[in-house]
């Protein structure tokens, strides 16, 4: 049995899970392993309690995450019997609009939204909120399963473990705590398929992704501890790559020796620029990139954040880099 500390504050979530029979569970657009792992985790738990559950996502499950047990049952918003749903469980969404704008009106009118999340700046948009800044949202689902006495099967363990691996960047970020490892160890004991998760998460890169990575690394620039690169629409077209082929690129940039911050700019067909920020902070006290992202209406975590900025690529680059420089100077001043 694990000795991981018990996480409090779940009483209302547990009450809702007990008191209702028909649930829909959803997560954010551009879903990654913590979003889908937490969504499926909630589905397994509710099913384990004998409830009726509808798993829903606005976006399709990425190919590399279809191995997660239950992923094949996830439906599009228009396939859900909305009038039957007694409670919406929204997981891993730092904001409610992260479920997708077209989908938002269907959910936000609902009288019972349960918000389960680990993003620190979550505005507690639910009627019931359980927001704890653990390493992953799946850590919260693990805790729920334990508190509800639902058995953690190898399938459920695999979903939960995948979220931890993804959101800690394979146990490399400063959000890894002793409890992260205790929970991970317990999930392994319960049959989480760790190697299958690693291969699916890290060893299924498309040729387009590798080409985009190559181009972006070639054009990367370094100045004052900041490394940055950009991908224009032209480059997306030339390589045949899409936005989801750029997910790991900011981390590749950050791997450069001597840099503290990596910034990747991606030009979308809409004319907006998607900005990804990463820090190479070793002690959790350096630059908080989510603060930079928030200046531009975005958000995220200390070490990984992002924002969507309207404007020309060069202009957005200049504005964001200026803000990163300012934030680095601030962080430097605070440590003096």
Binding site for Mn ion (CB under 5 A): 34, 92, 137, 167
Listed residue (233, 231, 237, 203) closest to 219, CA to CA: 231
Beta bridge partners, 310, equal 272
Beta strands, E only, 109-215: 113-117, 128-131
Q: How near is the Cβ of 90 to Mn ion at its closest, in Å?
A: 13
Spatial distance between the Cα atoms of 157 and 173, rounded to a whole number of angstroms: 21
Q: How near is the Cβ of 226 to Mn ion at its closest, in Å?
A: 25
Q: How near is the Cβ of 120 to Mn ion at its closest, in Å?
A: 11
In the bound state with Mn ion, the residue whose beta carbon lies nearer, of 167 and 267, is 167
Here the tokens at position 20 are 């209702």
Spatial distance between the Cα atoms of 32 and 202, rounded to a whole number of angstroms: 12
In the bound state with Mn ion, the residue whose beta carbon lies nearer, of 90 and 316, is 90
Question: Would the CA dihedral through 305, 135, 33, 7 be positive or negative?
Answer: negative
Here the tokens at position 321 are 């880099």
Crossing angle of helices 154-167 and 178-189, rounded to 10°: 150
- Provide CB contacts within 8 A for 85, sequence distance 6+: 22, 23, 24, 54, 110
Distances (CA, A) of 124 to 28, 91, 217: 15, 12, 39
Q: How near is the Cβ of 116 to Mn ion at its closest, in Å?
A: 11
Closest residue (Cβ) to Mn ion? 34
The DSSP code for 4 is: P
In the bound state with Mn ion, the residue whose beta carbon lies nearer, of 304 and 307, is 304
In the bound state with Mn ion, the residue whose beta carbon lies nearer, of 241 and 300, is 300
In the bound state with Mn ion, the residue whose beta carbon lies nearer, of 7 and 226, is 7
The DSSP code for 150 is: -
Spatial distance between the Cα atoms of 166 and 293, rounded to a whole number of angstroms: 21
In the bound state with Mn ion, the residue whose beta carbon lies nearer, of 167 and 179, is 167
Q: How near is the Cβ of 33 to Mn ion at its closest, in Å?
A: 9
Determine the distance from the C-alpha atom of residue 132 to the mean position of all C-alpha atoms in its chain, rounded to a whole number: 14
Q: How near is the Cβ of 136 to Mn ion at its closest, in Å?
A: 5
In the bound state with Mn ion, the residue whose beta carbon lies nearer, of 32 and 155, is 32
Listed residue (19, 49, 39, 16) closest to 150, CA to CA: 49
Q: How near is the Cβ of 166 to Mn ion at its closest, in Å?
A: 8
């Amino acid at each position: 049995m694990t000795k991981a500390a018990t996480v409090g504050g779940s009483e209302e979530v547990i009450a809702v899970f007990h008191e209702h029979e028909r649930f829909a569970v959803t997560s954010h657009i551009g879903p990654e392993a913590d979003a889908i792992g937490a969504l499926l985790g909630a589905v397994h738990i509710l099913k384990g309690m004998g409830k009726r559950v509808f798993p829903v996502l606005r976006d399709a499950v990425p190919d590399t995450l279809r191995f997660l047990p239950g992923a094949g049952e996830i439906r599009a918003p228009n396939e859900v019997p909305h009038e039957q749903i007694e409670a919406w469980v929204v997981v891993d969404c730092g904001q409610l609009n992260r479920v997708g704008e077209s989908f938002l009106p269907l959910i936000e009118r609902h009288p019972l939204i349960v918000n389960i999340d680990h993003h620190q700046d979550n505005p507690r948009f639910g009627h019931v909120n359980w927001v704890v800044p653990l390493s992953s949202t799946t850590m919260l689902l693990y805790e729920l399963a334990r508190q509800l006495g639902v058995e953690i099967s190898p399938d459920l363990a695999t979903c939960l473990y995948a979220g931890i691996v993804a959101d800690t960047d394979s146990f490399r970020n400063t959000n890894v705590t002793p409890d992260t490892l205790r929970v991970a160890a317990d999930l392994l004991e319960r049959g989480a398929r760790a190697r299958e998760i690693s291969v699916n998460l890290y060893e299924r890169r498309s040729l387009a992704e590798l080409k985009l990575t190559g181009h972006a690394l070639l054009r990367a620039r370094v100045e004052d501890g900041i490394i940055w690169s950009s991908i224009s629409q032209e480059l997306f077209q030339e390589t045949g790559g899409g936005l989801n082929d750029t997910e790991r690129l900011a981390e590749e940039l950050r791997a450069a020796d001597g840099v503290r911050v990596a910034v990747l700019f991606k030009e979308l067909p809409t004319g907006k620029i998607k900005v990804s920020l990463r820090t190479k902070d070793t002690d959790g006290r350096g630059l908080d990139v989510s603060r930079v992202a928030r200046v531009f209406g975005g958000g995220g975590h200390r070490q990984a954040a992002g924002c969507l900025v309207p404007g020309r690529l060069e202009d957005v680059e200049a504005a964001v880099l200026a803000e990163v420089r300012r934030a680095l100077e601030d962080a430097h001043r605070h440590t003096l």
